[in-house]
Chains A and B, each alone.
Chain A
Amino acid sequence: MTALPTTRPAAWLAPVLAVLAIAGLAGLPFLTLAPNRLVPGSPVGCGLSGAAAGVLAGLAAGLLAWPGRPGRARIALAASLAAWIALLLAAGHGAADLIAGRPPAARAALGAGAWLAGLAVAGLVADSARALLPRRGGLVAALLLIGLAVLTAWAGLLDALSLAVEYRARAAALGAAVLQHLGLAGASLALALAVSGPLALLRLRGGPASRLADGLLNGVQVVPALALFAALVAGLSAVLAWVPALRSVGLAAIGPTPAVIGTAAYLALPLVRGLAAGLAAADPDVLAAARAMGLTPRQVLLRVRLPLGAPVLIGALRVAAVQSIGFATLGGLVGAGGLGAVVFEGMAQFAQDLILLGALPVIGLALAIDAGLALLGGPRTLGDPA
């Protein structure tokens, strides 16, 4: 990647984002009003504060497109954050106005325009934060955006939105689902790590056994996730029919068991590759020196190979952890619960808000884990081996 020029913020990105935000606010439904939570609603435009958000987004983009002094980036950040607050207030107030005086089943949901404008304004905030802090700008922007949204919701300003109504009806179940999801992902990651460690050492040594393991793990990647989960359900019920004693250990054909085994099977390949690459990262001279100093193979592994390969190891762990969150979603299909169960219930009811309640935490968890592990390891950029 050294052949490529270093990156700098694209000058045209901010205007494009501002145009997207304004087009979304002007041309697409900002909110939709429906008589109940299941039928699609009729579109409603954005009010005065929505228009204010558009103006602020345009102002921020103008300041970013012609950066003169650093002060301009600061004003751009303030303007784009103000646009974000204006959007939140427009959504909250607009929804409250819409459902005022209507039956309690009426729902005011965010429309396509609100989502598009929200994404574009979030991009503007990230862009202006990066202009100020090139290294950690994205993270700071994410924390500011989430913080402001949580603050507005906590103040009760978003209570009338259908998403908030749906959340209030399911807060306890959703909290349990998030914990269950993290449990599924964590258990899968632990199982995959337990299997991958020895396999990575085997791969380091080479030989036919390592090639066989490699072929098997590669084969698993080809199998559709849905098919593997289904095969595990069938296979486990067959095993349990033959050896009923396994039930007393807590194994079951439906539930967390197939979900954890299936997810771990997919995580194994990136983990084995990453672990082996990390353990092989140490310079041969350094290894020779370590051996010459009289270190045992075990000490070489623990004191030389592991510390020197740490960035690669953390990178592999990061990829696997993000994937574990995604694969655990399919656990909802085999009765393992988690956020997948919420998503699939929403799909079965065709209830958009319920789908969002399940899907947004999945994306949020994946991004949070990615960002958290990125703080530990080095930056992962385009073109790195996946």
Chain B
Amino acid sequence: MSRARLGALAPLLLSLGLAVLSLPEVAGFLVRALGLHAGTPVPAGRLAWLARQHLVLALTGFALASGAGLALGILATRAAGAPVRAALDTLATAAQAAPPVVIVALALPVLGFGAPPILLALAAYGLMPAMRGTVGALATVPDDVRRAATALGLTPAQILLRVELPLAAGPILEALRVVLVLAVATAAIGALAGAQTLGTPIVVGLQNQNTLALVQGAAAAAALAFLADAAWLAAAAGIGRWLRP
């Protein structure tokens, strides 16, 4: 238990440190101390608003990717879904071969500026880790347990809900943590297609040689990703305690 708490503590501290660094005064002091040209700062209020937008986008993308990944992973491990596994594997490989920035770029002329391109990219990018994690987690359930459940007269749906998913919950939650952190980290790319995220100050900073905005955006985006990591770890530890009192 203490190890689980410690696991969440490191990303939480990192997140807090980076959040402080993203404040205009702190970042400005650092940038000037390093002898760099500062540029116009991003006000803290605007940064907080961007962080909220960023989080909404990332969570929507996470919900799309993890929902589809879980469903496809469960489908692939059912007897009826066995024929689809090759097709799903190809789909997952193809989704991995196209990096999120390329998906955002390809979707831009079709879906237009704003949130839709990055949501598509987040869904596609998170799909494979979610699906692979689910398939791998369900494969850790021993066959004897499944046979015992069948012998007890449980229906396939009951076996899935009452036996397989609870037993595989640990690895599935771990896979979903990766998907969530990927989503929060990748949502920054959305700025390239005009979505308002913490990537926006970075892109603007790179275009206008504004090192201050660039540092603020980078620190804030990293802080949010570490915060998501810490929150998930803490929640997973809490759920684990609740499941095994």
A interface, CB within 8 angstroms of B: 1, 3-11, 13, 40, 112, 126, 130, 138, 215, 219, 221-228, 230-231, 233-234, 237-238, 241-242, 322, 325-327, 329-330, 333-334, 340, 343-344, 346-347, 350, 352, 355-356, 358-359, 362-363, 366-367, 370, 381-386
Q: Which residues of A contact B97 (CB under 8 A)?
A: 322, 326, 363, 366-367, 370
Given contacts A5-B79, A358-B105, contact A386 B129 (CB under 8 A): yes
CB under 8 Å from chain A, chain B span 71-94 = 76-77, 79, 82-90, 92-94
Q: How far is the CB of B208 from chain A (nearest CB, A)?
A: 13
Q: Which residues of A contact B110 (CB under 8 A)?
A: 112
Tell me if B57 counts as interface (CB < 8 A to partner A). no
A-B residue pairs in contact (CB < 8 Å), sample of 8: A1-B139, A3-B143, A10-B83, A225-B186, A226-B218, A358-B105, A382-B76, A383-B135
Give the interface SS of chain A, mostly helix, strand, loop or mixed.
helix
What are the nearest 4 A-B pairs in CB distance?
A326-B99, A10-B83, A227-B218, A238-B34
Decide if A370 touches B225 in the complex (CB within 8 Å): no
Decide if A227 touches B188 in the complex (CB within 8 Å): yes
Q: Which residues of B contact A226 (CB under 8 A)?
A: 188-189, 191, 199, 202-203, 218, 221
Tell me if B119 counts as interface (CB < 8 A to partner A). no
Q: Which residues of A contact B90 (CB under 8 A)?
A: 126, 138
- CB < 8 Å neighbour of B86 from A1, A7, A237, A327: A7
- CB < 8 Å neighbour of A327 from B87, B92, B99, B139: B99
Given contacts A226-B189, A230-B206, contact A330 B35 (CB under 8 A): no
Decide if B225 touches A222 in the complex (CB within 8 Å): yes
Indicate with 1 or 0, residue by residue over B205-224, a CB within 8 angstroms of chain A CB atoms: 11000010011011101100
Decide if A355 touches B108 in the complex (CB within 8 Å): yes
Tell me if B109 counts as interface (CB < 8 A to partner A). yes
Q: How far is the CB of B99 from chain A (nearest CB, A)?
A: 3
Indicate with 1 or 0, residue by residue over B174-202, a CB within 8 angstroms of chain A CB atoms: 00000001001111110111000011001
Tell me if B53 counts as interface (CB < 8 A to partner A). no
- CB < 8 Å neighbour of A215 from B10, B98, B132: B10
Given contacts A10-B84, A233-B214, contact A350 B189 (CB under 8 A): no
Decide if B206 touches A222 in the complex (CB within 8 Å): no
Q: How far is the CB of B55 from chain A (nearest CB, A)?
A: 13
Given contacts A5-B79, A222-B226, A226-B199, contact A359 B132 (CB under 8 A): no
Q: How far is the CB of A277 from chain B (nearest CB, A)?
A: 15
Q: How far is the CB of A146 from chain B (nearest CB, A)?
A: 15
Decide if A230 touches B202 in the complex (CB within 8 Å): yes
Decide if A355 touches B101 in the complex (CB within 8 Å): no
Chain A residue nearest to B137 in the complex (CB): A383
Decide if B105 touches A230 in the complex (CB within 8 Å): no
- CB < 8 Å neighbour of B132 from A234, A346, A382: A382
The complex places the Cα of A382 from the Cα of B14 at a distance, in Å, of 34
The complex places the Cα of A3 from the Cα of B206 at a distance, in Å, of 51
Decide if A334 touches B105 in the complex (CB within 8 Å): no
Q: Which residues of A contact B96 (CB under 8 A)?
A: 322
Decide if B132 touches A384 in the complex (CB within 8 Å): yes
Tell me if B31 counts as interface (CB < 8 A to partner A). yes
Chain B residue nearest to A319 in the complex (CB): B96
Given contacts A222-B225, A370-B93, A383-B139, contact A343 B102 (CB under 8 A): yes
Tell me if B67 counts as interface (CB < 8 A to partner A). no
- CB < 8 Å neighbour of B106 from A228, A238, A322, A355: A355
Given contacts A7-B85, A234-B214, A326-B99, contact A223 B35 (CB under 8 A): no
Chain B residue nearest to A353 in the complex (CB): B109
Tell me if B26 counts as interface (CB < 8 A to partner A). no
Chain B residue nearest to A383 in the complex (CB): B135
Decide if A234 touches B185 in the complex (CB within 8 Å): no
Tell me if B122 counts as interface (CB < 8 A to partner A). no
Decide if A4 touches B77 in the complex (CB within 8 Å): yes
Q: Which residues of B contact A215 (CB under 8 A)?
A: 10
Q: Which residues of A contact B218 (CB under 8 A)?
A: 224, 226-228, 230-231, 234
The complex places the Cα of A352 from the Cα of B97 at a distance, in Å, of 20
Decide if A382 touches B109 in the complex (CB within 8 Å): no
Given contacts A224-B221, A381-B89, A386-B129, contact A363 B98 (CB under 8 A): yes
Decide if B222 touches A356 in the complex (CB within 8 Å): no
Q: Which residues of A contact B98 (CB under 8 A)?
A: 326, 359, 362-363, 366
Q: Which residues of B contact A363 (CB under 8 A)?
A: 97-98, 102
Chain B residue nearest to A109 in the complex (CB): B109
Q: Which residues of A contact B131 (CB under 8 A)?
A: 382
Chain A residue nearest to B128 in the complex (CB): A386
Decide if A359 touches B202 in the complex (CB within 8 Å): no
Q: How far is the CB of B172 from chain A (nearest CB, A)?
A: 13
Decide if A382 touches B88 in the complex (CB within 8 Å): yes
Q: Which residues of B contact A1 (CB under 8 A)?
A: 135, 139
Q: Which residues of B contact A352 (CB under 8 A)?
A: 109
- CB < 8 Å neighbour of B99 from A112, A219, A356, A362: A362
